[in-house]
Amino acid sequence: MPTFYGTQVSSRLMLGTAQYPSPSVLAEAFRRSGAGIATVSLRREAAGGGAGQSFWDLIRDLGVPVLPNTAGCHSVREAVTTAQMAREMFGTDWIKLEVIGHADTLQPDPFGLVEAARILSDDGFKVFPYTTQDGILAGRLLDAGCEVLMPWGAPIGTGLGLNDLYGLRTLRAQFPDVPMVIDAGLGLPSQAAAAMELGFDAVLLNTAVAKAGDPAAMAEGFARGLEAGRLAYEADPMEPRDMAAPSTPVLGLAVLE
Which residues participate in the annotated binding site for 1-deoxy-D-xylulose 5-phosphate?
Answer: 157, 184-185, 206-207
Contacts of residues 16-19 at CB distance under 8 Å and 24 or more positions apart, as own/partner, are: 16/204, 16/205, 16/206, 16/207, 16/209, 16/210, 17/41, 17/44, 17/55, 17/59, 17/206, 18/44, 18/206, 18/210, 19/206, 19/207, 19/210, 19/211
**Do residues 34 and 10 touch, judged by C-beta distance below 8 A?**
yes
CB 141 within 8 A of CB 131: yes
Q: Mark whether 126 is an active-site residue.
A: no
Q: Considering the candidates 44, 96, 118, 126, report the single residue annotated as catalytic.
A: 96
Which residue ranges make up the annotated binding site? 157, 184-185, 206-207
Active-site residues, by number, are: 96
